[in-house]
Structure 1
Amino acid sequence: MKTQRLQTKPRVAVCALRVQATDDKTRLMPAGTFHAPRGAAEGTGPWHLSAEHAQAIIRLAAARSTDIAIDYEHQTLYAEKNGQPAPAAGWVDPRSLEFRDDGLYGAIAWTAKARAAITPGPNGEPAEYLYLSPVFPYDANGVPLDLLHLALTNTPAIDEGAAQLAAARMAITHDVTNDAQEIDTVKREQLILTLGLAAEATEEQIDGAIAALKASAADAKALREALGAKDDAKPDEAVAALKASSATAAPDMTQFVPVAVYQETTQQLAALKANSNTAELDALIKEGLDDGRIPGQATADWLRVQGIAACKAHLEGAPSIAALKATQTQGKPPEGTKEKDGELSDTELAVCKAMNLTPEQYRAANPA
């Protein structure tokens, strides 16, 4: 793509000519000074097409690798916005362009449907379409610079958004060779700035940025459709639609259970867990009393208060004291035997050592 720095922004316009279905060439753009019949994308003319200007357009067209499309109602420019197809009504052979006294002519291959639409009825009925509307960029002096595409229409005008799209396509996708005339209306620097790219951006980076914009537009369109928002809805309107849909959407109650059922189930699980822990704690204490790792009932009651984790920790660290199992007094001094007041027996001291307790802590847990 060859571009040249501009002093004015690209402008795109349309005009209208009576369409004629002939086997010869059809006039595509009038010669001399002409205006738009019902307004144009930017301004209403006047535009000026001379033989010299027409030859520049002919050279650009000859360098194209594709034919020049003719659609219906300029749908090619609106397809991305309204999502509707843009079927071709015909195709202009770009190498068939020639300038005549009254304008620029070219050979058109019409589709069968389009040919029927532009042909009057057998009894003089008017045709469905009367005008052929070319889309062309022009400079500050109103000189047409190229022929982008054409449309069958009865209202030959396009809005500003379509004009901007046509200008962007002219700027980045115009199919010309290096030997063709430069498109001096393409303001490349402005395009790069709009896309947020670096000044030295390559053509591949520009194409990638434009593709990303198209993908974002497609995602936004899908989101608006999902929310039921209008095509031209602003972000805050889309958010409002989302809130409204979430507020009115009825939940699938088959995916939920009543609160009372949930609470009852939770309470039952908690009770089962508590009973299981209590039974396990009772079994651990009994085992400790039997093998002497728990010296007496007072220690057993104390461990019961501490819980199952503390009981397990005590049993893992306490030695099994055979004397407590063997004596008939369960580790208590025989009747008639007294220890000194305030002192612990050897057995009790062994328990203190095993449990890492001080005598005072042991006496507090096992009062006489």
Structure 2
Amino acid sequence: MKTKTPYPVAACSLALKVASVDGLTRLIPAGRFEAPRGALAGSGPWFLGAAAAQSIIQRAAARSTDIVIDYEHQTLLTEQNGEPAPASGWIDRTSLQWRDDGLYGRIDWKARAQAAIDADEYRYLSPVFPYDPKTGDVLDLLHVGLTNNPAIDTAIPALAAARLGSGTYDPTREEDTVDREKLIKLLGLSADATDEQIAEAINKLKTTADGAEQAIAAAQDAATVAATKAAKPDMGQFVPLAVFQEQGTQLAALRAGSDVAQLDALIEEGLKDGRIPGKATADWLREQGVAACKAHLKDAPPVAALRGSQTTDTRKPDDADKKGDKLSEPELAVCRATGISPADYRKHNPVEE
């Protein structure tokens, strides 16, 4: 087991409006930094580098709660003054990023705090963090205060240390931590396992669990397919293919018979009222089908002279000496109505001897 090394706790101050870039806000500056108006005894300078920042990022991501931003460090003062410590905002624990000028995170400001910041009623962020007293290295980010009074100039560091118990910070202590010894036993590691070994064992366990889930899902899919193939269909819900095809043939025949009967009726009607001038036109319309016949009857005007028998000779007596080639007025009217030339009309409707 690692020995628990106590570390002091401090707080610094950052100008809020100049610390926000690309939706992220700087929470702790990079490199060597001190309090704005000089460090108090035993309170700095501090140092934050890329390696330490990565450790802070991993520690934050492993927590189950986001990092609170309160008003004027009320989280530390609540036991003294009995007042509540509402959040002015929350830092998304999974959003921490290391950049060249410091540790950044995404803040979700509450409406009241955002309005106060926009109105310039609050200007500074004051992160509370433990540090190594020998090197000044920052070890963690505990919480942050929205303030106008740089925290290092107050008793905040002492309050922070006192709240954590025995005036020091325990690096193995988490607000929502699990029992380290029990975790090591569950993972089958030795009692002196390092954080890296624990993380590696957890990752292996997660990989194994993911593989098991995929195998179970694949087995379930295969079982579903096999069950579907093995299931016997209810034959009462089906008919033989030959019966189905026979029914289709019969239906097509019924439809064809219905069309023929309808076409015969339409042609008979057209012959009676003169909209169909003769047998040739009737035969042509029969070949075109029901739709073409209906369209013809719709547009062709009835011809009174052609009603009744289509073989009645309506020519004048003096037409007989012209070998029957001249059309009568009713016949010419039919040609005009149907667009048939007189020659074609006579060709398909010769004068009976």
TM-score range, shorter chain: 0.3 to 0.5
Q: TM-score, normalised by structure 2?
A: 0.45
Q: TM-score, normalised by structure 1?
A: 0.43
Kindly name which structure, 1 or 2, has the bigger radius of gyration based on alpha carbons. Answer: 2
